[in-house]
Amino acid sequence: MTRHRGRGIASINYPIGMNLGGDPSQALVHSNPSGKFTVALSSIDLGQGMKSVTRQICAETLGVPVEDVYVDTADSDTGPHCMGSFASRGTHRVGNAVMAAAREARGVMMEAAAEELEVNAADLETDGRGNIHVKGAPHRSISTKDVAIAAQFKQGKTISGRGIFLVPLSNVDPETGEMSPATCYAHACMVAEVEVDDETGEVAMVRMDSAYELGRALNPRLVEQQLVGGAWMGVSHALYETPEPYYPDPSHGPRDFVEYLMPGPGDICPHDIAVLERPAPDGPFGAKGPGEMCANPVLPAVANAIFNAVGVRIDDLPITPEKVLRAIKAQGGARPQARR
């Protein structure tokens, strides 16, 4: 029995969002008489941080503290329409919609403040701490709370805004096959190192080194969280999990978490991540999105690393010990490739 080390590399170019009949998301922003703002979305946060990021985007656009913004994603029956949280589209599509809505709401807020301070709205600015004042004269100031109260009870105005961001459908040119399915692309590169046991066919992860280019990281800790966790979903796709049966009869397929394998805490390895920020011209504050693509480079990198380790090329996922062992036997033993 020998354990063979191998190293594989993969690079990916990932389109942000999708192109099936157009890709829109909507957002509504309104203030409450307390001076706090609510962002209404139907977009779902499954833990990736959509609520945190849209909260930041809204606060920054309105010019108010992030504590004063609440994001409500409760109900897709009553909220404004969203295509969904997939294809790494959340930050880009929903973020842009929130920005548009917050811009409109800010316009009304500044008009209401101008009326209270008896000045022109164009002469006002926000301080980001909950106040609006005359440019160059910070003492001529009113709090966003007092503006909200005045708008509600005196002026009869709703401080609110609507936002939609739509990437229209791009049709395929019948002559050339050309199309523009996405407006921006994220990129990733990974080097995966594995150890393959030529007696059992088992593949163990040794380490991963990766670089991700995802526009501006609006919340670097959330980005890191996505990349660390997403890479292990990629490993899981590469080596462990499948809803497809291993044998022709589906009754032998995995039915539960005991048979549907996923990596456990003991299977993980060191992963060094570099985040590169190249702001996207059409992204909210330059953001693209780290979502789905953080799992994608792992699969080809692992498959390449297995080839490098024992010389077998498996193109059918997941790369189970059985497949590795059969392939090694078929070629008459492990054939480690040159290491670079």
Partner 1 sequence: MAKTALQFRHNGRDVAIFVDGGTNLLVALRELIGDMTPKFGCGQGGCGACSVLVDGELHLSCLTLAETVAGRSVETLDGIKDGPNLHPLQRAFADNFAAQCGYCTPGMLMAAKALLDRNPSPSRDEVVEAISGNICRCTGYEPIINAVLAAASGGRARA
Q: Residues interacting with partner 1, by CB under 8 A?
A: 46-48, 221-222, 224-225, 228-233, 256-258, 262-266, 268, 271
Quick one: 38 or 225, whose CB is closer to partner 1? 225
User: Would you call 101 helix, strand, or coil by DSSP?
Assistant: helix
CB of 268 to partner 1, least distance (A): 5
Quick one: 109 or 194, whose CB is closer to partner 1? 194
Strand order in the sheet with 37-40: 69-72, 37-40, 23-31, 160-167
CB of 247 to partner 1, least distance (A): 21
CB of 231 to partner 1, least distance (A): 6
Separation CA 287–CA 91 (nearest Å): 7
CB of 164 to partner 1, least distance (A): 28
Written as six digits, the tokens of 144 are: 């966003």
Separation CA 103–CA 212 (nearest Å): 30
CB of 237 to partner 1, least distance (A): 12
Separation CA 184–CA 227 (nearest Å): 19
Residues belonging to the chain: 340
Sequence-distant (6+) residues with CB within 8 A of 174 are none
CB of 259 to partner 1, least distance (A): 9
DSSP 3-state helix, strand, coil percentages of the chain (rounded to 5)? 35, 25, 40
Written as six digits, the tokens of 107 are: 């316009």
